[in-house]
Every structure is written in C-alpha cells, then in structure tokens.
Structure 1
Amino acid sequence: MAGTGVRAAVEWLASAAPDPGACRWAWERDPLRVALLPAGRRWDVLTVAGEPGRVTLEVLTRLTGRPGPVLADSGSGRTGFFVPPGTVSHWMGTGVRGAGEGSWIAVPRPGQAAGGLRWLVPPDGSGTLTAPTTLETAMHEAAAVLRGWGG
C-alpha cells in the first residue's frame, strides 16, 4: 500500500474513533499498535470462521474486483468483512458473527499486521464497503464450493 493510500486509509479508520487525532497519533508513534474502534458509526463487521471466510473472500473478489476492507484474525481464524452501518441489525446468516452499534473492533494500522490481525484487503480511504447483498451472494457461492456443488 503506497504512502498516500496508507495516509488516506489511516484518516478514514481514525475518523471512526472517539478521538481521531489520538488514534492517528498512536499509530504514528507505534505503527504496530492495534486501535480499538467503534463499529456501527462508519461500518459494521461481519465475520466468518475458517475456510468459509477464505473462500468467501475469493468469491467476493471475483464478483467485485476489489471488495471493501477485509480483516483477518489468525488467533481466532476469522475473516471480517466491513459492511455499511446497520447491516448487523438485519443480518440473518448462520455461522456469521456481527459487530455493529455498541461493539468495538481491534484493527491494525493499514500496511501493518499486529497481534495476529492483518488486512487481507486494506481500506482504501474512500469509505468503500462491501454491499451486504453481494457478501451474501459470495457466502452462498462459497458454501456451494465447499460442499463440492460448484466453483
């Protein structure tokens, strides 16, 4: 991720923090630091465990070219897809965890990995998120691929 892209991504992520300046300063001081940011303001996050998460990302990339931000947590083996705020309150999928309003998300600085967290698709700073309907389609296709029904 080029310097300008990292700055734009940092600005976008930090804008969700209760104190954006403090968030930016903390990442400038220690780029390997994880920031705890509130979900539900700029985005919600839907997470999928294990292989289904990886295959969902593959399908999503094929469908969209470049999805919204996607975060991997090697500690839990989960893949988190950033979707528009309010998505979690209406999501009905099985095996999917949601972080929406009232939840907090640990995120590394764009361009860095920290504490088992890394960006599979870093934010680009534009605010692009994955559309819930597109993510749902990708999840269904991934489930079919994993069952050997397609792909």
Structure 2
Amino acid sequence: MAIPGDKAAVEWLVSVAPDPEACRWEWERNPLGVALLPAGRRWDVLILPGDLGQSALGVLGLLTDRPGPVLADLGDTRLGFFVPAGTASRWIGTGVRGAGRGTWIVVPYPGRATGGVRWLVVPDGQGTLTDPVLLEFAMHEAAARTLGRGGGKS
C-alpha cells in the first residue's frame, strides 16, 4: 500500500504512460511493484555511476531545497536523476548515460519497497525535476571532492 502523500507522485508518473489507467491498475497489482514508463515526455533520466551519483546527490542537497526524483538500482551501482525532457539528447559527459525519447525506464511504485530499483528521492507529484546545470555542477564538485580525498589514480 502506498503512503497517502504518494498519490500525487503516482498520478504524475502514470501521466506519461500510453494508457495511464491501465498502467496504474497494473502497477498497483504488480507484485514486483514496478512499471515500465517512457522517458522523453515529461522527463529524461541521466544515469550516473553509483559513487559519483551518490556524491552528486549530496552536493545537490546543499544547492537546492529539493532535487527532482532520483532512482537507484540494486546495490546502488547506478543512480538515475530525472531532468527536463530533451536533456538526454544534448548531454555530453563521460560515463553518463541518458534515457530520453524512445527509451523506457523501470520505475518503482512510490512508497513501496521493491527487490531492485528504489527511490532515493520520491517524485513530489508537482513535476519538480533536477536542473541539469545544477546536476553538472554537483557532478564536478563531487569529482573534485573525490580527487581531493586521494580518489584519483596515479
């Protein structure tokens, strides 16, 4: 059962589905608690390596009251930041994958635990997304901090 505040998040997420009603019905009854949703309509997803993504999320927390939705895969090996639609096609960055128009994302039901992908930042239902400029800055800052701790290779 979803937390009551997650209803707006569910509605926002299923609004991108080809058939939102069918998607919601299946999602709420799926024992895995996941749905496959198309990127590139309301949002794209930038997928970062886990360590960089976790560090960048920490920096984003210092820069903004609330970043957009963020997903983590099993083991936190990759993090997906929801950014404005169209960002993935323009993004140039080593080690960062983009999911935009023509791609689909496995999305867990907000407020429900799953065996794999999970929310680190649940959608607010209002359409808040991570600003790609802030994300890029956060990535640079996270990388610099890692190098400052001796995380670079010699």
Q: TM-score of the superposition, structure 2-length normalised?
A: 0.90
For residue 88 of structure 1, what is the aligned residue in structure 2?
88
User: Given residue 116 of structure 1, which amino acid in structure 2 is its aligned partner?
Assistant: G
Q: Which moved more, 1:104-113 or 1:31-40?
A: 31-40
Q: Which moved more, 1:74-83 or 1:115-124?
A: 74-83
Judged with a 3 Å threshold, the aligned counterparts in structure 2 of structure 1 residues 113 and 2 are, in CA distance, closer, same or farther, namely: closer
> Within 5 Å, which residues of 2 pair with 1:2-151?
2-3=3-4, 5-30=5-30, 32-74=32-74, 77-148=77-148
CA distance in 2: counterparts of 1:92 and 1:131, whole angstroms:
15
**Structure 1 unaligned regions, length at least 5:** none
CA distance in 2: counterparts of 1:18 and 1:124, whole angstroms:
21
CA distance in 2: counterparts of 1:118 and 1:49, whole angstroms:
15
User: Given residue 148 of structure 1, which amino acid in structure 2 is its aligned partner?
Assistant: G
Q: Percent identity among equivalent residues?
A: 68
Counterpart contact for 1:32–1:109, Cα < 8 Å: no
Shift of 1:2: 4.5
Deviation above 4 Å: which 4+ runs of structure 1? none
Q: TM-score of the superposition, structure 1-length normalised?
A: 0.92
Counterpart contact for 1:32–1:112, Cα < 8 Å: no
User: Given residue 50 of structure 1, which amino acid in structure 2 is its aligned partner?
Assistant: G
Shift of 1:33: 2.1
Q: CA RMSD in A?
A: 1.6
3-state secondary structure, aligned to 1:89: helix
Larger Rg over CA atoms: 2
3-state secondary structure, aligned to 1:46: strand
**Structure 2 unaligned regions, length at least 5:** 150-154
Counterpart contact for 1:31–1:109, Cα < 8 Å: no
CA distance in 2: counterparts of 1:48 and 1:89, whole angstroms:
15
CA distance in 2: counterparts of 1:102 and 1:21, whole angstroms:
21
1:127-146 per-position Cα deviation (integer Å, ceiling 9, x unaligned): 11011101101011000011
Aligned length: 148
Q: Which moved more, 1:29-38 or 1:65-74?
A: 29-38
Judged with a 3 Å threshold, the aligned counterparts in structure 2 of structure 1 residues 62 and 89 are, in CA distance, closer, same or farther, namely: same
